[in-house]
Amino acid sequence: MLLRKSIENYVKNNSLNSYVTISVLFFLFAIISTSFYYFNKSFNSRYYADLLNERKSIIFLKEIKSKIDIYNAIHSSSEVNNSKEKILILDKKSIESFLQNENCSYLNSKISNSNIVISKNEIENYSKNVSKCINYINKINGENEIKFKESSRNIYYIEIVLIFIFFSLLVSFVMYGYFITNTVDKLIKNKLLFSKIDLTVANSQNISNAIEKIMKIIAVRMGFDMGIYWEIFDNKLVFKEIYTRNVELKDFFQEKKLNLTERKIIENIYDGENNIKSEENNIGKILFNKFSIKRRVLIPISFDGMNYGLYEYFGKKNSGLLQDAKLNLYKKISYYLGRIFFKNSSSVELSETRNLLEQLRFALDEAAIVAITDTNGTIKYVNDKFCEISGYSREELIGFNHRKINSGFHSKVFFKDLWSTILTGKVWHAEVKNKRKNGLFYWVDSTIVPIFDAENRIIQFIAIRFDITQKKEMEEVLFKAKDDAENTARSKGWFISTMSHEIRTPLNIILGMVNLLGDEIKSGKSKEYFDIINLTGKNLITILNDILDFSKIDDHKLELEKISFNIIDTIQECVSMFGIKAQEKNLIFKTDLDEKAPKWILGDPVRVKQVLINLLSNAIKFTERGSIIVQLRYLEEGKNSFVIKISVIDTGIGLKPDSLNKIFFSFSQAEGSTNRKYGGTGLGLAICKGISKAMGGDIFVKSSYGKGSTFSFAFKAKSGDPNQIVQKEQSIDTAMAIKFPLNILVADDSVNNQFVMCKFLEKLGYSPDIANNGKEVLKIVDSKEYDVIFMDCYMPELNGFETTQILYQTYQKKSLPWIIALTANVSLEDQNKCKETGMHDFIGKPFNMERIIDSLNRLISNKKFKDKFEENYYIALDKEKILNHFSGDWQILARYIELFFVYFPKMLSSIEEAIEKNEAKNLEISAHKLKGNVGSFFVNEITAELKKLEEMGNKGDLTAAHELFNKVKSKLNALLLVLKNFLETKH
């Protein structure tokens, strides 16, 4: 039997044809059943006729036998009966024929309607034959009876099946007729439903009025007790209207109207039980409890993925049979109403779009220069603005090619790009210079858009332009001003570079000579004069460096390093530099360092020192009594990221409120008298601010006039790694040439510079050769192999850059000498130029012994020379820094070195003994003690390794302690030699 849904769909789609087909099948089966009935009846008739005939034959035979018996009893011989009976004599031939005939039909035909007379001779035989015939007929009759019963049983079963099929078809026929009638009725009602919807929409002023009436039509058609229409507002369902035929329901919901709150958008159709457990079905719950409403139907109004509203219906009757058909109807209603909404919104949008386009066209014509051309560039339309700016009338433009207004300013490539762009359907945009009718030029910002037909073929181009003539004229003025500013900036840079070069060149000679004289002058007035000259020269270098730093900051060319360094040690180092001066002024000088702050950070320690030294220098300078406190605080920003804040708090003269905003400006001080009394260029704090900004921070000040100031320097940083310390370049003692023999060539056109450089190198034990220009350098290196060339960059005939390039072309990289640039131009551009040329290092003028030693240290530590000097340890000593650490008092420093020599062996043996005995705590104490003593000499390499030994003791892991100790021990012994030489020579 067909499924209900299949029957329904089949009937709905093929109702008339299917009904005719079923009818034909039903009547065909009726004819077959009737034919089978008559066949069965004929079969039974034939059977009973044969049976009657056989039985009749038996009766006749029995009569013959009876007559024979009677005749045999009465007569003893063959006599003819005188009666009128006809006598039939059965001879032998007749008997054989009789026996051969199975159904005895021959005998029947003989004896039928005949009198029987048998001769006496044949009576006995005939009697026997008759008995056999009777027995045979009985046998055949029994077999036929069995066969008949079997056939009758089969026919009986067939009749039962046929009767069942007949009645089944009859029932199906009746039910199918009902389904057809019901479906046709529903289809008609559905057609009427949609017709009513169309009529309602057509007769309504707007879709909102129609949608409420349609809710009522659907409720009446489907037999719902109540319906609610929800419209979509702000992406939610909002109650709009209610319909019900039940007065009690209507009155109830008018009271409860305020409870119909906003709901989420529902997208799926639902027809089923009024689920009172659902959280969103608050209305259904009320209806179920109050009015026993059992059914709920949800019909969202949607089309093409867009939702426009929701019909929610309730009814007391269940959905019943054919629920799928109802769901299909609901889907059609949802789609149909959604399409109506879509068409309505589309028509509204279309109307609005048309209105908007009209307004845009009006606005465009009022504001823009508009032209439309065909695909060949022939003008089809121009607006008033076009005529106004070009000076042509419409008649002079329409029908002519757009080339009519070309200025000749743009190249053929320009127009080729234009046409290749718009002919491929793309939008083209550029600034175009055109020519007016009067010959004057004007600029427009032009956008050309292709216009397509229905088959996506380009039919026209619309050009929308805006007059930018004034803008272009202003740009020309700005470009000129920019060029002037750039020329001024270049002039400024050239001036600073030239000034720096011209000042540094003689200053290099002056300070070099002063440095050399320092070894000769030990005391007296000469020493005093020497110190004044030396200090003045260094102050001049400081001013030059400040000007260069300021120039870098002003040009946004300040570069920062990113290396791991110990912020605590950096602060302590800066504090120690000003300890003596603070002590001389009887100031309380201390630090307040946050214990939670990270010790190792990633940043630029040189710039941090530069800012802090500047702030401390000002604090010392402007504080006569009280205290100076250096404070460290930090604030976490994220993983491994934080803000470091260093504050210098003093009790000095303070600042007036009107001075707070100007002290960070260039060449600015709090008061004019400040420069006269305390000195300075007014660049210090401006440079500090620039450095702070470059480091992602800033500098702040809080001050109270007469009470003191707090300068805070904040910058962003990340966690550093103590194992990735960039060590300070190492210094070498006067026996350096013995430990590290190098062939050195000094190339400089200045005899004075040659003299100073050679004297410095001779103090290190070297005997350098001299070249006056680049040509001499090339000639000399052909005759002798050099390890190092100190190359002045700006020599006559062949400068240092050109010479370096020729050396690279002449020698392989492995055999090329190590080239150290010498120049008074110390700007970043000059340094980069040296690197790009291939020079290995850079020394700015004026140079000093420490700078030369630092450069040689980098050379020696380079892989090229490392194998050559692998076993030699060398130690850096910043002698000026060490002396400043001891307040410039040579006697105190000398005494400290002597005591270090006394206690050093004991401290070293304590470390060794702790390692041997595996005493971690003693190792931590001993290493910490030695680190503190060595720290006064600012040898970062040794203090860092002693710090590692200290940490090993703290952690209790001495696995690698012995190896590290041997390495530190060798370097400490090298330090002793350098300190001994330092003590003996006082330099």
DSSP states of 581-634: HHHHTT-EEEEEE-TTS-SEEEE-HHHHHHHHHHHHHHHHHH--SSEEEEEEEE
For 578, list phi and psi in degrees, rounded to 5.
-110, 10
Q: What is the pLDDT of residue 535?
A: 61
Which of 204-208, 391-395, 960-964 is most confident? 391-395
Q: Which residue has the higher pLDDT, 177 or 673?
A: 177
pLDDT at 433: 92
Sheet of 769-771, strand order: 769-771, 744-747, 788-792, 818-823, 841-844
Q: Give the span between the Cα atoms of 911 and 917, in whole angstroms.
A: 10
- The whole-number pLDDT of residue 803 equals 92
Query: pLDDT category, 9, cuts 50, 70, 90?
Result: low
556 membership: H or E segment, kind and range: none
Nearest-angstrom CA–CA distance, 370 and 368 = 6
pLDDT at 483 over 90: no
| pLDDT tens digits, 687-743 | 888 888 888 888 888 988 888 999 998 988 888 876 554 444 444 455 566 667 888
Contact 877, 732 (CB under 8 A): no
Considering only residues 952 and 116, tell me which one the structure prediction assigns the higher pLDDT.
952
| Homologous superfamily assigned to 736-849 | Response regulator (3.40.50.2300)
CATH of 558-717, one of 3.30.565.10, 3.40.50.1100, 3.30.420.40, 3.40.50.170: 3.30.565.10
Q: Is the pLDDT of residue 751 over 50?
A: yes
- Confidence (pLDDT) at 93: 46
Residue 362 above 60 pLDDT? yes
What three-state secondary structure class fits 710? strand
Say which residue, 560 or 257, is predicted with more confidence: 560
Residues 6+ apart with CB under 8 A from 697: 643, 713, 714, 715, 716
pLDDT at residue 783, as a whole number: 87
The pLDDT score that the predictor gives to residue 765 is 79
**Residue with tokens 């409120």, as numbered in its chain:** 657
pLDDT higher than threshold 60 for residue 633: yes
Residue 261's pLDDT is 66
Coil, helix or strand for 638? strand
Across the range 279-284, mean pLDDT stands at 68
- HEC string of 217-273 equals HHHHHHCCCEEEEEEEECCEEEEEEEEECCHHHHHHHHHCHHHCCCECCCCCCEEEE
Is 368-467 CATH 3.40.718.10?
A: no
More confident residue, 681 or 332: 332
**Residues with Cβ < 8 Å from 342, sequence gap 6 or more?**
303, 304, 306, 308
- Sketch the domain layout of the chain as residue ranges: 4-182, 208-350, 368-467, 558-717, 736-849, 882-985
With CA atoms as reference, report the closest residue to 5 among 321, 223, 332.
321
In this prediction, residue 543 carries a pLDDT of 62
Please state whether 73 falls in left (phi above 0), alpha (psi between -120 and 50) or beta: alpha
Asked whether the domain spanning 558-717 has the same topology as the one spanning 208-350, the reply is: no
Q: What would the two tokens of residue 887 be? A: 């307040």
The per-residue pLDDT for 300 is 86
pLDDT of amino acid 29: 66
pLDDT tens digits for 786-835?
989 999 988 888 999 999 999 988 887 667 889 999 887 766 677 888 88
* pLDDT for 754: 85
pLDDT band at 20 (very low <50, low <70, confident <90, very high): low
Q: How, if at all, do strands 818-823 and 788-792 pair? A: parallel
pLDDT in tens, 389-412: 999 998 999 999 988 999 888 999
Summarize pLDDT for 583-615 with one digit per residue, the tens. 788 888 888 988 888 888 888 888 888 888 888
Question: What is the rounded average pLDDT for all residues in the chain?
Answer: 75
904 and 976 in contact (C-beta within 8 Å)? yes
pLDDT on residue 419: 93
Digit-coded pLDDT (tens) for 485-516: 767 666 666 666 666 666 666 766 676 677 66
Q: Whole-model pTM above 0.75?
A: no
The fold for domain 208-350 equals Beta-Lactamase (3.30.450)
| DSSP characters over 313-362 | EEESS---S-HHHHHHHHHHHHHHHHHHHHHHHHHHHHHHHHHHHHHHHH
Q: What angle do CA 129, 131, 136 make, to 5 degrees?
A: 95
Q: Which class would CATH give 882-985?
A: mainly alpha
104-133 pLDDT, tens digit each:
444 444 444 444 444 555 555 555 566 666
Residue 373 in this model has a pLDDT that exceeds 60: yes
Please indicate whether residue 526 or residue 49 has the higher confidence score (pLDDT): 526
- Res 895: pLDDT: 78
- Is the pLDDT assigned to residue 986 strictly greater than 70? no
On the question of pLDDT at 59 being above 60, the answer is no
Tokens for 544? 């030059």
pLDDT at 266 over 60: yes
* Confidence (pLDDT) at 878: 74
Confidence of residue 563 (pLDDT cuts 50, 70, 90): confident
pLDDT in tens, 409-462: 899 999 999 999 999 999 999 999 999 999 899 999 999 999 898 788 999 999
Reply yes or no on whether the pLDDT at 671 is more than 70.
Answer: no
Give the residue with greater pLDDT, 201 vs 756: 756
DSSP notation for 461-515: EEEEEEE-HHHHHHHHHHHHHHHHHHHHHHHHHHHHHHHHHHHHHHHHHHHHHHH
Q: Is the pLDDT of residue 7 over 60?
A: no
